Amino acid sequence: MRYNRKNIKFFLIMVLMASCNLGNGPKDTLGEVKALNIHDEITIGEIQKAFEDGEYTIVELTQFYLDRIQSIDRSGPTLNSVLTVNPDALSIARELDEERKRGRTRGPLHGIPVLLKDNIDTADKMPTTAGSRVMKDSYPLIDSPVAAQLREAGAILLGKTNLSEWANFHSSYSSSGWSGLGGQTKNPYDLSRNPCGSSSGSGAAVAANLGVLAIGTETNGSIVCPSNNNGIVGIKPTVGLISRTGIIPISFNQDSPGPMARTVMDATICLGTLTDVDNNDSKTTQMGREAYADYTQFLKKGSLKGKRLGYWATPLRDNVRMTKVMEEAITYFRENGAEIIVLDNFIYKSASDHSFEVLLYEFKDGLNKYLGNLGEKAPAKNLEEVIVKTFSDSLEMKYFDHELLKMASVKGNLKDKEYRTALGAMFRITREEGIDRIMNENDLDAIFSATGGPAWKTDLTNGDNFSLASSDPSAMAGYPVINVPMGHLDGLPVGISFFGRAWSEPILLAIAYDYEQGTLHRRTPRYLTSQE
């Protein structure tokens, strides 16, 4: 059945326990199990109304999610999507309940449980590891701006999610969602299939309602691909809209954190809380930056009418079944007043080669700086020491070769001509000769394409098996992209990506919201295992 928020009925927690082995739910002061009106697709707005109506407290909601993580992630289906649970989550929830009793609410995220990808620093009892066994005991002393802004907004940092180790920049081949520290994350729609990466745990956890929303990070596809495979909404904003300070890096010019949620509205609410300027991240202080504290103002039905949308068909190639799903989306756009312009391929293949050089240089530079900022308690002094410890660890080396670490280690510094040339060429091909050119020539409001194909079988022997991807242009240009569920193939979700010029989040969000509200393709996962 297609999910429709207007029609779905609330399920009592007792029913959920019977169907999902949730165990004991939140308890009142008498020690009795208290039933909560929480369904698998619950939104921020519904939770805030429940708080206001006294249906449950923030403590009770937090306990519900802690129990759900234990039941679905650690046992039962065993998604393996959450690496660490915050031991202080309930005490934080109590403080936020007290604030609410005193008449203070910090905004729509007050009391909302949020999961963070485990490459984002938090100054608490949770380590920040990037999934590497080398980093398992790394406890940063300062919150990242992302974590600090979420806390200030009243969110509860519920835990850290598993990820592709080092955000999937470690080996010549790999399985998305695998880390030496956390093992393999599973896809909640089919436990034998891949959640995609590197924000794999964030995507799987949000799809399974182990948190109301999550924060992922993307260098190239690492928010939109897990959003595609897990049937959720993912926003990778323009590089510089959200600070990257205190995030274990790959690329200064391509990395960005971003929200992942079950609805465009929830992801958009989160986005606006994260846009403060950070003087330690020069991308957030660049000329021309356009940021808003509230992006929900742009979410309006009817936003497709009059829009000129460019359809980039190249990623689909000869994929007949995906093309059929895409044609249904195109028909919907036209029926709702949008004009569709079919685009020739507008990104030269050489851009990917330039990007790879950039990533090698910037990974070495960025990781060395990150480790240096950890001070005396850093688990490794630099990339070279990370390599020594990784290659001497049999569990780290069991499946994958970690050769990218070595390739990065031999690069010079960011003043090298090879680096500067590659960076300039990458930006030229993807920006002025790429996205900006094609949009100007065709007077486009946005470009769309299939985000990816359905999830593939997880294979630790051969690695990932991508059928298609469309994240290259926006990733290499540093421009925004949003994934929204587009449909299903054999019960597996597939998504559509909307992308465009720098700082075009308002128009992309408007288009994505209108499409989502008119189609409602999101379905709740069932934790099946195919017999193929």
CB-based burial label for 198 (10 Å; 0-12, 13-18, 19+): buried
361 phi and psi angles, rounded to 5 deg: -65, -50
d(CA 382, CA 368): 5
DSSP letter for 530, please: -
Q: How many CB atoms lie within 10 A of CB 107?
A: 16
Q: 436: closest CA among 487, 384, 473?
A: 473
Residue of 71, 200, 202, 222 with catalytic role: 222
Residue of 71, 81, 117, 132 with catalytic role: 117
Residue of 81, 198, 200, 449 with catalytic role: 198
**Active-site annotation holds for 251:** no
**Active-site annotation holds for 198:** yes
308 phi and psi angles, rounded to 5 deg: -105, 115
DSSP 262-285: SSHHHHHHHHHTT----TT-GGGG
Task: Enumerate residues 6+ apart whose C-beta is below 8 A from 47.
Answer: 61, 111, 112, 212
Q: 454: closest CA among 67, 208, 196?
A: 196
Q: 368: closest CA among 386, 349, 382, 353?
A: 382
Task: Enumerate residues 6+ apart whose C-beta is below 8 A from 325.
Answer: 450, 486, 487, 489, 494
Q: Active-site residue numbers?
A: 117, 198, 222
